[in-house]
């Protein structure tokens, strides 16, 4: 499934970027060798970042 249609960035690429240390959408774009265009995907990227943070917090408890 695509998260960013402008750049053809898939969900698994976003998750890989987050696992590699991306903590903001701009860092996800950088990891995917892309740049923000319409920015419609930024909310989804933020949601995925929040999910990862919550998962890490849950795992640490």
CA separation for the pair 55, 7 (Å, rounded) = 27
Structure tokens at 25: 């959408």
Q: Which of 5, 8, 11, 53 binds ligand FES (CB under 6 A)?
A: 5
Among 1, 6, 2, CA closest to 36: 6
Q: Is 4 in the site for ligand FES (CB under 6 A)?
A: yes
31 binds ligand FES per the rule CB under 6 A: no
Q: Under rule CB under 6 A, how many of the chain's residues touch ligand FES?
A: 10
User: Given the rule CB under 6 A, which residues bind ligand FES?
Assistant: 4-7, 36-41
């Amino acid at each position: 499934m695509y998260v960013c249609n402008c750049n053809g960035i898939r969900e698994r690429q976003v998750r890989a970027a987050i696992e590699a240390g991306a903590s903001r959408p701009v860092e996800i774009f950088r990891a995917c060798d892309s740049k923000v265009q319409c920015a419609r995907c930024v909310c989804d990227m933020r949601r995925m970042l929040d999910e990862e943070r919550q998962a890490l917090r849950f795992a640490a408890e």
